[in-house]
Structures are given as structure tokens and as C-alpha cells.
């Protein structure tokens, strides 16, 4: 089970445009099984499906793919039309430039540009004209264009750097799941840097695969973690392969052919720890089962390696601010 849950912050931030325009979304949240209490708890999480459905429902309700954060709305279907305009391009370079040209035809659209810096390419966003207090649209646009480009060429575009025109936000710890590369805040612009070799790569997608892609995109591009090259990302993949056994740090270090001390140091350099990664994974697995009602609380506790349900109860409340029982009750 490799699903990563989404911090409640992103759901609350996504609703910012709806609040600004006076849209009453209480019925929508109820329909998706997202309680207002959950959104008020900063540690709480929602499932990727809930987040994807929330974004899609807000597009339709607001009639705006920018969710009320742009200078002007972007009619639902605009992203799909852009995809159809670029799908027959011969290379990623031509596809990205045609896609950016497409959006530049609409007044009030957030401006994205591609610039070359020696062997690197920078995708920059001018976010100065956005009404985006929680930086939701800035994050979303950078994530969507990175993952859309990666999908077009059939491989992840490795990011060398991500810069942001604002100070590190309170939810900055979540950025590792979004960008998985060195991050720099309070810079002149928000941008992503990657190697220019990707631009020459041919597109591996066509009209048939695009049809399937557009069933859930770009909303599901935002709800997927970035499976990057960092040690943290590799460890998440390793631990999630078999969640019935929870190896200790020494066993994982041996598997990676490094010493436990080296593993600890590298994780510390990435701003995390082995216990934190393990707890994040256990939290996500717990939420996955609690939202489906397929296992009892006792069975979930056992699967996560807890000797008794009370220990699981305490840990889950520490992770999310809610008890497992309360979480399951608000989901159903």
C-alpha cells in the first residue's frame, strides 16, 4: 500500500477561493466524508481520492480550473484542450512551449516561462498577480506542469532545484512529497530547474492514452507524491513493500549497504528521521484502512506492529489529532 495521505492544510487551502467567492461548500465536504473538525486539525490527513474528488467538484462548482485564485477564471476543460493541442508534438520542448503559448492566449492567466541556463532549463511562474494567500495555486501549477511533462515522455523529470518567491510556509515539511529536490525560499521567483536533455525526448503518449489520463487529471497529479531520488523517497518505497514486517533501522541500513550512523546522518540532512518516515507510513496505512472499514481497529493495530490497540490509539491521535474511532466515524 503506497498511497500517501494528504495534509488537511491542502484541502483547506484549496477551499480558499470558494470562501473568497462566498460559495457554501459544507454540503460538498459532507458528500466527500470530510468533516469540518478534520480541516480544523493541522495534523489531520485525507485520502488521495477525497482530495482528487474535492478539486474536481470545486472546478465545477466555481466554473474555474484556477479555483478562484487567478486574476481571471480558467473554464473547466481548458487543461484538456491544452493537452489535445500538444499531444502530437515531436518533442517535450515543442510540447511545453506550445502548452505555455496556449495559456498565454487567455488574459489574466498566470504567466509561466521556460528559460535556458547553460545545460539547465528553468520553468518559472510569475505569481505576483495571484490572489493566493496559502500559495495553493503556485504549488499546484508547478506540480502539474512537472508531472504532466514527466507523463508525456514516460519518465520522471529529475528536479535539481525548486525556488519559491515566499518564505518557507508552515506546511513546508510537505514540500518533500511535492518536489523531492533541494528547496529555496524567499527567492525572486517561484520556479523548477531541470536538465535540458529532457527537452529533446520524444513524446510517448497519444490520443488513446491521453483519454485515460484526462479522466482524473490534473487533479490526481496533485494527490500523488513525487517518487523522487532522495534517500527518504527510497526508504518509503522500501518500507511500503511489505507492511506486515517493520524492519528496524539497522536492518534497513544493512539492506542499503551503509552503516546505521550514515543512514541517520543522511536522513537528518534531508530534514527527517527513520522513525518519522516509519510513523508517516503507518499513519497512511491506518487512514487507508479506516476509510474503507475492511479491518477492525484491532486488526489495523496488529498490521501496524502495535502490541495492543491502546498503543495504536495513542499513536494515531499523536499523528493526526484524532482517535481512530473518531476518524472512522467521520468517514462513514
Tell me the domain boundaries of the chain: 6-73, 78-220, 231-331
Give, as one character, the DSSP assignment of residue 294. Answer: -
Distance CA 220, CA 232 (A): 22
What average pLDDT does range 243-258 have in this prediction?
Answer: 84
Q: Which CATH architecture has domain 231-331?
A: Orthogonal Bundle (1.10)
Mean pLDDT over the full length of the chain? 90
What average pLDDT does range 186-212 have in this prediction?
Answer: 96
Give the pLDDT score at 176. Answer: 78
Q: What is the pTM of this model?
A: 0.79
Distance CA 269, CA 201 (A): 33
> CB neighbours of 306 closer than 8 A, spacing ≥ 6?
312, 315
- How many CA atoms within 13 Å lie on the side-chain side of 174? 21
Give, as one character, the DSSP assignment of residue 6. Answer: E
Give the pLDDT score at 1. Answer: 44
Q: How confident is the model at residue 40 (pLDDT cuts 50, 70, 90)?
A: confident
Residue 126 has pLDDT above 80, yes or no: yes
Burial 246-271 (b: 16+ CB within 10 A, else e): eeebeebbeeeeeeeeebeebbeebe
What pLDDT, in 10s, does the model give residues 130-182? Answer: 999 999 999 999 999 999 999 999 999 999 999 999 999 998 888 877 888 88
Instruction: Specify the higher pLDDT residue, 102 or 236.
Output: 102
Distance CA 309, CA 11 (A): 29
Amino acid at each position: 500500500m503506497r498511497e500517501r495521505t494528504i495534509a488537511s492544510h491542502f484541502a483547506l487551502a484549496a477551499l480558499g477561493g470558494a470562501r473568497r467567492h462566498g460559495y457554501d461548500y459544507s454540503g460538498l465536504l459532507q458528500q466527500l466524508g470530510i468533516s469540518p473538525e478534520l480541516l480544523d486539525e493541522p495534523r489531520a490527513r485525507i485520502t488521495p481520492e477525497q482530495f482528487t474528488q474535492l478539486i474536481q467538484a470545486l472546478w465545477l462548482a466555481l466554473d474555474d480550473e484556477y479555483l478562484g485564485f487567478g486574476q481571471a477564471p480558467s473554464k473547466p476543460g481548458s487543461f484538456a484542450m491544452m493537452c489535445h493541442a500538444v499531444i502530437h508534438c515531436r518533442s517535450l520542448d515543442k510540447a511545453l512551449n506550445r502548452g505555455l503559448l496556449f495559456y498565454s492566449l487567455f488574459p489574466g492567466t498566470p504567466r509561466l516561462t521556460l528559460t535556458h541556463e547553460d545545460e539547465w532549463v528553468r520553468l518559472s511562474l510569475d505569481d505576483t498577480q495571484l490572489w493566493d494567500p496559502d500559495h495553493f495555486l503556485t504549488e499546484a501549477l508547478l506540480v502539474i506542469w512537472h508531472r504532466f511533462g514527466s507523463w508525456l515522455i514516460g519518465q520522471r523529470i529529475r528536479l535539481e532545484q525548486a525556488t519559491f518567491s515566499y518564505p518557507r510556509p508552515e506546511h513546508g515539511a510537505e514540500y518533500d512529497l511535492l518536489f523531492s529536490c533541494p528547496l529555496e525560499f524567499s527567492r525572486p521567483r517561484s520556479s523548477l530547474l531541470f536538465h535540458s536533455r529532457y527537452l529533446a525526448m520524444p513524446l510517448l503518449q497519444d490520443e488513446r492514452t491521453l483519454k485515460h489520463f484526462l479522466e482524473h487529471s490534473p487533479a490526481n497529479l496533485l494527490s500523488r507524491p513525487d517518487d523522487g531520488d532522495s534517500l527518504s523517497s527510497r526508504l518509503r518505497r522500501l518500507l511500503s513493500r511489505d507492511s506486515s514486517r517493520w524492519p528496524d533501522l539497522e536492518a534497513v541500513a544493512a539492506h542499503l549497504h551503509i552503516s546505521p550512523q550514515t543512514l541517520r546522518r543522511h536522513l537528518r540532512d534531508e530534514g527527517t528521521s527513520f522513525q518519522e518516515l516509519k510513523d508517516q507510513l503507518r499513519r497512511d496505512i491506518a487512514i487507508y484502512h479506516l476509510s474503507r472499514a475492511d479491518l477492525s481497529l484491532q486488526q489495523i493495530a496488529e498490521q501496524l506492529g502495535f502490541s495492543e490497540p491502546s498503543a495504536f490509539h495513542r499513536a494515531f491521535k499523536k499523528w493526526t489529532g484524532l482517535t481512530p474511532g473518531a476518524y472512522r466515524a467521520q468517514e462513514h
